[in-house]
Structure 1
């Protein structure tokens, strides 16, 4: 009987001459992107449809601009989204669920200061049924009294829990610091505001704001695009309005300033949230900024992550990224750390921001970031849901499949010098503002000693 000796991973990865060299990366596999058929229907709804076979499913994304200036708007919008699928003139909640289940479908609703989105999927053959339910809730949702009362109580409880979370507190503080009183900051209503919402307010907002003009519906799946658009037109023919959907106004530009120390009594952790202006996808420098961000803190092998997690052990995770807002974009730099290392973590964060401007990314760093950026983009598009979500986001920004199709080549063509220029312009410590949330009695003295801090 032959004896088999199993080698460890370390033994496999080494030779007598040292670590076994990694094979070179092969060529990037392209993900073929389908053509997108587009049409604006008579009611003003813009429909994009793409044939992506593979599984007999279809993904649906409806985006309705849903801004509002009234103080009560966020609370009413949240309750509207929570009760949209709870009943219509001809279907109750159970009827809606059963009809969707019969075609392997589901729908979900979420809302933020910028838009209300209905998303879901179903069997491609069941698209007419899925569209029938969608059209019914858009035109005839009744927001039943009992359902509104039930969802209102649930929302109040959920919001009270969420508002006690450190990340929620930090996000609200950051939004106010960079955008002031602009409606974009009203991402989560208070429990008191939700408790005060009436059924009449929910129904009135539905009638006034959930409208087709300016809205976009994306369909991706094993469908014939022209036929799918015709099915949409038939289904939503009764969804009409004289007014367009409400677009969120452009928020004010970020003004570089001292960080604000936000006191959270008894907290054993601190949240560091820094932000600076960034670039929209339209800008020819966007690909260079995307790679500069990855080198700094955009993925696990980034400089900042190596410093504050791998080397110093201050945090489990540190991340930087580009966030898109109406008419622009912002950089976000965030991490959560224990109170006793808040000042050191902030010092290292500022150090890394300065280092990427003074010590530009190397060719090896840029190549690694480029491989990650192209690979993660292609992976995200290699399924119907990922493509549908991306097309919906791009459409809201005035871009389409052609931009997406060309972006891997843009990333491949960016030079090391261009990445260095983007790093110098957008990651300079003097470009940032932000907040530090924690127990000021514990972290305040050391954080203030670093300078550039205001607050209690």
Structure 2
């Protein structure tokens, strides 16, 4: 018997005439629009219920606007999110976990400067239990002294660790550089502020701010949307208030300018964080900007990645993305580099900004980014969890499922000329930001480069 000869992947991929040609990309399948009911309940809660997928599960996303002007708000909000599901007037922590486990469910809460969010899931047959546990927390969270003290102390320890992480430091410095003392900046509270939070503070914040009017609940899964509306109205009907949940104040327009160097003693790496004013999802130019951003640095085949990762080797990863609030959109560009190449990396990033504005993406770049954008949207919304998160995100922006179902066609309709126009938003003069690193190691290089404010 003749022994099989092992061939490498490169050998398999070649013929006598050269490399085997890649098959052409197939036409992406259309985005399947879920069966959706979008309504407002008598208590002011917006409910979006969608039938999606064959898995007998339901995903839940509740988003409550939760902004606060007080400097102590961020600390109290974090403690609230950690303790809101640790017991109610009728369920202790163990009973909450037991009831959810009985229906294959889970539920947790997170908070940021914009909103308090509850993220959960359960078997479709256990939707009523998931809703009842949620309603119990919304209307009767106990915030006992023991639970608040325990979660508060654990949170203080986690914050101490988080605040030593370079990426957390860089994010906070970028926020402060962009928006000064705006409430949006308070993403990570000070451990000392958290340490002063007591049960009375959390109960007062809950009563004042955990409100249905202005909030949105999204349910996605193997469910009848109309029946779900009736079930939610029954279970959450007792969650009421005449007040409206507090929205984050509008962000000021982000203006370009010098980059600020933030000294981090002994750092062997630098964090580069640059940002410019972008467009909101509601802007008619947004699909073109989405494709331009992918071409610039939004995926692995982008110009920025090819330059400072693949060609120069300055960073393991560079990224360009969008950040949205309710009425605002910004462009974020980030990379982490070794100290000795920090100035060179910043130079190349500026070069790519200028090249993007002056030499817009080619037809091939546009088409590649277009296919990636459409495919990414289809993939991200194919699961029940992905669809639930997307519908909740769009609802916060004032959009609905109709925008989602029409977006692939908007991307297909974008022309190279429209992408070129959007690419002008990447002009170097429109960007500002921070570099976090050891000033003794990187200060001279950045000073020679110019456009950097040294400490």
Q: TM-score, normalised by structure 1?
A: 0.99
The answer for the alignment partner of 1:227 in structure 2 is 227
| Distance of 1:413 and 1:380 partners within structure 2 | 21
- The answer as to whether partners of 2:57 and 2:122 remain within 8 angstroms in 1 is yes
The answer for the alignment partner of 2:451 in structure 1 is 452
| Distance of 1:262 and 1:326 partners within structure 2 | 29
5+ residue gaps, structure 2, are none
Q: Render the CA deviation track for 1:173-203: whole Å, top value 9, x for unaligned.
A: 1111111111000001000000011110000
The answer for the alignment partner of 2:378 in structure 1 is 378
| Distance of 2:270 and 2:355 partners within structure 1 | 23
SS at match of 1:280: coil
- The answer as to whether partners of 2:391 and 2:401 remain within 8 angstroms in 1 is yes
| Distance of 1:176 and 1:201 partners within structure 2 | 26
The answer for the alignment partner of 1:145 in structure 2 is 145
User: Within 5 A, what are the aligned runs for 1:243-254?
Assistant: 243-254=243-254
Q: TM-score, normalised by structure 2?
A: 0.99
Q: Render the CA deviation track for 1:377-413: whole Å, top value 9, x for unaligned.
A: 1000101000000000000111011110011111111
The answer for the alignment partner of 2:333 in structure 1 is 333
SS at match of 1:250: coil
The answer for the alignment partner of 2:441 in structure 1 is 442
The answer for the alignment partner of 2:356 in structure 1 is 356
- The answer as to whether partners of 1:259 and 1:433 remain within 8 angstroms in 2 is yes
SS at match of 1:320: strand
| Distance of 1:246 and 1:147 partners within structure 2 | 26
Kindly state the Cα deviation for residue 4 of structure 1 after the two structures are TM-superposed: 2.3
| Distance of 1:367 and 1:223 partners within structure 2 | 37
| Distance of 2:58 and 2:97 partners within structure 1 | 18
The answer for the alignment partner of 2:431 in structure 1 is 432
CA-based RMSD of the aligned residues comes to: 0.8
Runs of 4+ in 1 over 4 A off after TM superposition: none
SS at match of 1:270: strand
Does residue 74 of the first structure (1) align with residue 74 of the second (2)?
yes
The number of equivalent residue pairs is 455
User: Within 5 A, what are the aligned runs for 1:233-382?
Assistant: 233-382=233-382
Kindly state the Cα deviation for residue 316 of structure 1 after the two structures are TM-superposed: 0.5
The answer for the alignment partner of 1:411 in structure 2 is 411
| Distance of 2:165 and 2:433 partners within structure 1 | 18
5+ residue gaps, structure 1, are none
| Distance of 2:395 and 2:154 partners within structure 1 | 33
- The answer as to whether partners of 1:249 and 1:326 remain within 8 angstroms in 2 is no
- The answer as to whether partners of 1:269 and 1:339 remain within 8 angstroms in 2 is yes
| Distance of 1:396 and 1:298 partners within structure 2 | 23
- The answer as to whether partners of 1:75 and 1:193 remain within 8 angstroms in 2 is yes
